[in-house]
């Protein structure tokens, strides 16, 4: 489904998953769901508009353009949604949860919006900055927080160590991005198996969850991660992921 659209959010909820909304603020102060800084990749906005960063555009201009048709014709008519629209769709549906990835937004404003719709327990705020995770968790009581860690294997190790040294203060989850090795190997990922095993142990000892983001995967690689004991995953291929997990469970009996 086209990312950061209502179609994508509803699809993930129907699968029993937790979609992610990347949130930014428009020039007129509206919080929207959009991964990129511009409309270029995900909408049919013309070049003279698509090249402008969205914080310099009003919502009315952003909503002129289709956010689904470039993904597939079936999604023509999708618009860049506001965060308010997404939270309204969650209100009264406690089974609908949302990862909220902080891009460019006022944390106090988000906290007030979450509180106004009483959906705090359904929100997992995500950021590469531990202080943002902690701040928003304090602003909206009940919100959970996730620190995501990307980059090279060494950068991931360093950032994880820094979070661990705080006792994972203000965090409920840590997510590690798994990038493929550049050279062939029996272990697919740049992050070594030993680091993941250590991360699993440290997070478990501190009562938080370890999640991994697998951008691409073969079923055997996913099964290796499941065998390690990792139970939280982020993926851009939910259907294939669900089938791979079902196959792993069948093998385990």
Give tens-digit pLDDT for 180-189. Answer: 988 888 889 9
Residue 252, H or E segment: helix 238-252
Kind and range of the H or E element at 104?
strand 98-104
User: Residue 90: pLDDT band by 50, 70, 90 thresholds?
Assistant: very high
Instruction: Please answer whether residues 3 and 80 qualify as being in contact, where contact means their C-beta atoms are separated by less than 8 angstroms.
Output: no
State whether 17 and 72 are in the same domain.
yes
As for how many domains the chain has, the answer is: 2
Last residue of a domain, one of 109, 141, 168: 109
Judgement on whether residues 100 and 190 belong to the same structural domain of the protein = no
Domain end position, chosen among 109, 125, 142: 109
Q: Once rounded to an integer, what is the mean pLDDT over residues 223-252?
A: 92
The per-residue pLDDT for range 122-168, each reduced to its tens digit, is 999 999 999 999 999 999 999 999 999 999 999 999 999 999 999 99
Please check whether residues 161 and 246 belong to one and the same domain.
yes
Query: Residue 127 domain-assigned?
Result: no
What is the maximal distance between C-alpha atoms in the chain? 57
Residue 130's alpha-carbon distances to 102, 126, 167, 206, in angstroms, are: 11, 9, 12, 16
6 shares its domain with 104:
yes
- 163 and 99 co-located in one domain: no
- Its domain, for residue 193, covers 150-252
Q: Is the pLDDT of residue 64 over 90?
A: yes
Question: What CA–CA distance (Å, rounded) separates 237 from 253?
Answer: 25
Same domain, residue pair 2 and 96: yes
pLDDT number for residue 68: 94
Task: Please indicate, yes or no, whether residues 159 and 219 belong to a single structural domain of this protein.
Answer: yes
CA–CA dist 179, 151 (Å, integer): 8
Is residue 236 predicted with pLDDT exceeding 90?
no
Average pLDDT on 20-33 reads: 97
CATH number at residue 172: 3.40.50
Higher pLDDT, 252 or 196: 196
CA 32/CA 249 separation, integer angstroms: 38
């Amino acid at each position: 489904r086209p990312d950061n659209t209502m179609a994508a959010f509803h699809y993930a909820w129907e699968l029993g998953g937790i979609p992610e909304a990347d949130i930014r603020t428009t020039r007129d102060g509206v919080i929207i769901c959009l991964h990129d800084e511009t409309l270029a990749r995900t909408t049919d906005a013309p070049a003279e508009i698509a090249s402008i960063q969205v914080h310099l555009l009003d919502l009315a201009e952003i909503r002129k353009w289709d956010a689904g048709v470039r993904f597939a014709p079936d999604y023509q008519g999708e618009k860049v949604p506001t965060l308010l629209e997404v939270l309204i769709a969650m209100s009264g549906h406690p089974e609908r949860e949302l990862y909220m990835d902080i891009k460019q937004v006022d944390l106090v404003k988000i906290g007030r919006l979450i509180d106004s719709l009483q959906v705090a327990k359904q929100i997992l705020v995500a950021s590469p900055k531990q202080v943002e995770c902690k701040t928003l968790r304090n602003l909206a009581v009940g919100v959970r927080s996730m620190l995501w860690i990307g980059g090279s294997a060494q950068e991931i190790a360093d950032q994880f160590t820094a979070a661990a040294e705080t006792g994972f203060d203000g965090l409920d989850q840590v997510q590690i991005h798994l990038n493929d090795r550049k050279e062939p190997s029996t272990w697919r990922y740049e992050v070594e198996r030993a680091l993941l095993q250590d991360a699993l142990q440290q997070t478990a000892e501190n009562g938080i969850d370890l999640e991994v983001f697998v951008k691409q995967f073969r079923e055997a690689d996913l099964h290796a991660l499941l065998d390690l004991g990792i139970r939280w995953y982020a993926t851009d291929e939910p259907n294939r992921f669900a089938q791979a997990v079902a196959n792993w469970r069948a093998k385990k009996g």
